[in-house]
Structure 1
């Protein structure tokens, strides 16, 4: 499978999710908005958080709640990688206040357009959404205090380049809080070679220790998993039971 083919497939699927042509979500149980809300709660979003942001920002695509663990402070500048409809951008915006700023970067025009509409509808003056790829961020060097991401880095075939870009744009002393999917053990070849599985955050998942080492090699220190969630049989394809884990990783520059 070629990197461009994978990225094109992923981009097309998430563009359709943004326009609601595709109403599926990777880990939802249930149908429609009720299933999406249920999934959001299952990965760590509270009822109050869900109610505090525009409903159209929630697509049920995450595997954690990075804003709950990143210790975001007033006045900070935050970057969200793969911002989608803006759920984590808006939650972070509530934390940084008027003196802070939150930037969301997404590779799909439709997601950026949707998130921008959500920001206007919610009256958010301290957020900005940019079109871009996480391997080539449209962000200046050392301009960000906190970087968050929610089940996105697994979607890129080149995680090493992505984490080097994260390191580049982060201020000295800055921190990252990444929610992502990793593996424990080998995945079946038919999963690894499936475009659909790539778009569903499984085929591109990296082995857990290799994932942490990739972050270290990008230059980060104090890399640690602060929360971990093991999926059950009801959450997964039976071929993946015991092999897929959701992790919340924190690291410092």
Structure 2
């Protein structure tokens, strides 16, 4: 276990021991959370092969409405997600990657000019910073400077998850979002498992128990986490399976919003205007809510405030609820990622849309 963010175990594991994703001993850091949309696959195909070969992630962290946004990637590694996002935000957007591993940052910086030419950008809309995600201020990241923060299978590697989320909250603008994929356990991990450096480096023994995420988010000031998707992780390694015993793990994506302090919370009805890239006719906002173009949807105070105060505000029409009583039956809200993963195993699996993510990484 790394007891301090500046310990050398993680930089050594990801910088020196792992030369590419084939060196991973489990599939925890390459498990895709859901099929990858075609426009993202097309962007990924333009990322340099050396950058892609050094990619280790447990999901896909690409939320909707990215055009012109400023995005911060926590634990950006070789820069695969950053370069893909650099194309999607466009020339007026900007992407910053932060990583503690010198070798990974070196690979990422090496191909800035290559990708800017590939994407047709007249000037760089991306940079990479060497630093710790628990201390973004030390890395020069200013208060309220980003619209979106992403993180892909990195927070579990930090010994101080609360510090990571606290810093994320600080650097997000009001109405900003943290959209992140990570590994979660079904119960708290004991200290003896945390001492296993391979399990820690493989994104397993540093995992939060999923309920802890809700506690930390509330304490810091985020709106309650919204579960987007979840998939079981299979540790295809006999020795590690024996060590883990009956502990279960999922790769889950959540979204957190930083709502303005003086935002007015009220129930209401919203109508999705349609037209967002890859979500032209509907947006699956999370595992519980899908908005279809032109359909009137009654939402609670929390979701109303999220949509009204975030970058999504221009994508919806807002109607006050008035005094009318709702006849809609309240459905169960899924917050437990293990419940969602279990439900997914009972459903027919959708086609992969050409995704090549798997035990050997993503091409």
| TM-score category of the 2 structures, normalised to the smaller one | 0.7 to 0.9
CA distance in structure 1 between the partners assigned to 2:144 and 2:180 by the alignment: 18
| Higher relative contact order (CA closer than 8 Å, sequence separation 6+) | 2
Deviations 1:124-170 (A, max 9, x none): 62110001100101200000000000000110110011100000000
Question: What is residue 33 of structure 1 aligned with on the other side?
Answer: none
- Return the alpha-carbon distance in structure 1 between the equivalents of residues 203 and 16 of structure 2: 16
Cα distance change of structure 1 residues 56 and 21 upon mapping to structure 2, 3 Å threshold:
closer
The structure 2 residue matched to 1:181, chosen from 175, 183, 195, is 183
- Residue aligned with 1:13, SS: helix
1:53 to 47, 53, 61: 47
Match of 2:106 in 1: 113
The CA distance in 2 between the partners of 1:5 and 1:106, in whole Å, is 11
Return the offset for 1:72.
4.0
Task: State the shift of 1:245 in Å.
Answer: 0.9
Residue 164 to residue 45, structure 1, CA distance change in 2 (3 Å): same
Which one has the largest radius of gyration? 2
1:145-160 equivalent positions in 2, closer than 5 A: 145-160=147-162
Preserved contact between residue 187 and residue 243 of structure 1 (Cα < 8 Å): no
In structure 2, relative to structure 1, the CA distance for the partners of 1:72 and 1:90 (3 Å cut) is: farther
User: Which structure 1 segments of 5+ residues have no match?
Assistant: 30-35
Q: Deviations over 1:8-31 (max 9, x none)?
A: 10111112167x3895135459xx
Tell me the C-alpha RMSD between the 2 structures: 2.7
Mapping for residues 59-98 of structure 1, pairs under 5 Å = 59-67=54-62, 70-98=63-91
Residue 92 of structure 2 is matched in structure 1 by 99
Give the TM-score taking structure 2 as reference length. 0.61
- 1:132: which partner in 2? 131
Name the stretch that deviates more: 239-248 or 209-218. Answer: 239-248
CA offset at residue 75 of structure 1? Answer: 0.9
User: Counterpart of 1:85 in 2: which secondary structure?
Assistant: coil
For 2:235 and 2:205, locate their aligned partners in 1 and report how far apart those are by CA, in whole Å. 18
Which has more helix, going by share of residues? Answer: 1
What is the SS of the residue equivalent to 1:166?
helix
Supply the distance in 2 between the matched residues of 1:184 and 1:207 (Cα, whole angstroms): 6
209-218 vs 233-242, greater mean Cα deviation = 233-242
Deviation at 1:232, TM superposition (A): 3.5
CA distance in 1, matches of 2:237, 2:194: 19
